[in-house]
């Protein structure tokens, strides 16, 4: 169970969720403690640059889509780190707003 497990469960039910993630890996796009709104998403609508709630190698992230290759999505933070490649099955929602 990770920090986002409860939000992922609600997204699976079709709900929109809000939370305040902590950390600096997304600085410049999301500052630590800002209120993020995440909605369920149709993976076919995802684009490079979208911020998604996802799981990479068992770890939950609110990170960027850095690249798309067919049915695979490369996930990374806003500081140059790449987390890895995942399929749409591991993407739970897209961040639609960030507020203070």
**pLDDT (tens digit, 9 = 90+) per residue, 9-21?**
999 999 999 999 9
- Which domain, by its residues, includes 47? 5-99
Mind listing the pLDDT tens digit for each residue in 54-65? Answer: 999 999 999 999
Output the domain CATH number for residue 21: 2.10.109.10
Number of domains into which the chain is organized: 1
Q: What is the pTM of this model?
A: 0.96
Burial of 84 by CB count in 10 Å (0-12 exposed, 13-18 middle, 19+ buried)? middle
């Amino acid at each position: 169970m990770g920090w986002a497990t409860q939000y992922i469960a609600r997204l699976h039910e079709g709900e929109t969720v809000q939370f305040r993630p902590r950390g600096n890996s997304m600085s410049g796009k999301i500052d630590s403690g800002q209120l993020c709104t995440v909605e369920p998403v149709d993976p076919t609508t995802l684009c490079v640059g979208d911020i998604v709630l996802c799981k990479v190698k068992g770890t939950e992230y609110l990170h960027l889509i850095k690249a798309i290759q067919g049915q695979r999505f490369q996930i990374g933070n806003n500081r140059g780190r790449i987390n890895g490649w995942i399929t749409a099955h591991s993407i739970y929602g897209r961040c639609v707003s960030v507020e203070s």
